[in-house]
Amino acid sequence: MSEAKDLAPWLEADLARLLAQRGHAWLVTGTAGLGQFELAMAMASSWLCETITAPEATLDKASTSAILKACGHCDACHMVRAKSHPDLAVLLPETLSLELGWPLDEKTQADLDDKKRKPSKQIKLEAVQDLISFVQRTSSRGKGLVVVIYPAEAMNHIAANALLKSLEEPAGDTRLVLATEDSAALLPTIRSRCQSFVLTPPEAKLAVAWLASKGVAEKDANVWLKASGGQPQTALAMSQAMTKTVAWQDFPKLIAKGVLPSELPAALIETPAALVGALQKLCHDAICTSQGAEPRFFEAIASASSLYKLTTWSKSLNVQARSSEHTLNAGLMIEALLAEAKQALASK
């Protein structure tokens, strides 16, 4: 988790605007790879920071963001960074908790350690019920209680419905931030109880400079940024997973000629879902090229296939995306996806 002062530069202005506004429930949304979770945690740090004492009502616009921003050095900021602040609850799917190092409750951790079940990719009712109990407590350090839920769309409908009362009328001085990459997947009753804040992708120059600060060469940064659809964090993850830009640039040619799974970068066939995502980008660009438009994700792509074949393929990929996380035989699904892609990209 990044401190507020370490936020990506395109999030700094968003943090300042959010901290200057009043509200108890926020929905921070936008496409993937923009930093919704980092922004939500920066908000939580600022609300809990113990060097911030000036009431918001007495601050002018010029000084608000500077005074309300977490210092990063007080005991509260250190506890947030150590994932141990008693007044902060961060609700994540179990898979993401393990990935990011957030502690699980003792029973869940014991079940996973004993291999009684696999970690869940959903936020379940039991977790939300524990959260409801948390928000009914008294603040331990006097700055109120803060809840961060990410990704909010991971709550199943039962869990989301259980949260409604706490969102509408939280007990005491409680503030909640729901961060999401797919707000349309949330229940309308969840969205209506939150103030919505939409993140937008940064300008390419700013994103490239940020990628360069993370060790990505400038010429490569432009390729990865294009490959990610302008999402800097996704671009960084792609650069780390595939290393060489040629692995991405050659993807359309390899698919069109009929590639074997072993000939593709491991990152693209790690799971069927990863391959489906890459193929959806390729399909999008093939449709654009077939109609005389510029590709969005690849530098160049030649498409001799018919629009009918490409749109049929696009619909099939959308269907495959719904089950790609739960396939019984990942290897067979990957082979089927590659065969379908070759056929869709074949000449008219």
> Strand runs (DSSP E) across the chain, as ranges?
25-29, 88-91, 145-149, 174-180, 195-198
Cis peptide before 93 (omega within 30 of 0): no
* Contact by Cβ (8 Å): 200, 30: yes
Could you write out the DSSP letters of every residue in 114-148?
Answer: TTSSPPPSSB-HHHHHHHHHHHTSPPSSSS-EEEE
3-state secondary structure at position 26? strand
Return the residue matching tokens 């060097």. Answer: 51
- Which fold would CATH assign to domain 4-198? Rossmann fold (3.40.50)
DSSP state of 244: S
**DSSP state, 214?**
T
Count of residues making up the chain: 348
pLDDT tens for the 348 residues of the chain, in order: 444 447 899 999 999 999 998 899 999 999 999 999 999 999 999 999 998 754 444 444 444 445 578 998 999 999 999 999 999 999 999 999 999 999 998 889 999 999 899 999 999 999 999 999 999 999 999 999 999 999 999 999 999 999 999 999 888 889 999 999 999 999 999 999 999 999 999 999 999 999 999 999 988 999 999 999 999 999 999 999 998 999 999 999 999 999 899 999 999 998 999 999 999 999 999 999 999 899 999 988 876 778 999 999 999 999 999 888 777 789 999 999 999 999 999 865
What's the pTM value of the predicted model, to 2 decimals? 0.87
Q: Domain residue spans in the chain?
A: 4-198, 204-344
Rounded (5°) CA angle 215-217-220: 125
End-to-end CA distance of the chain: 50
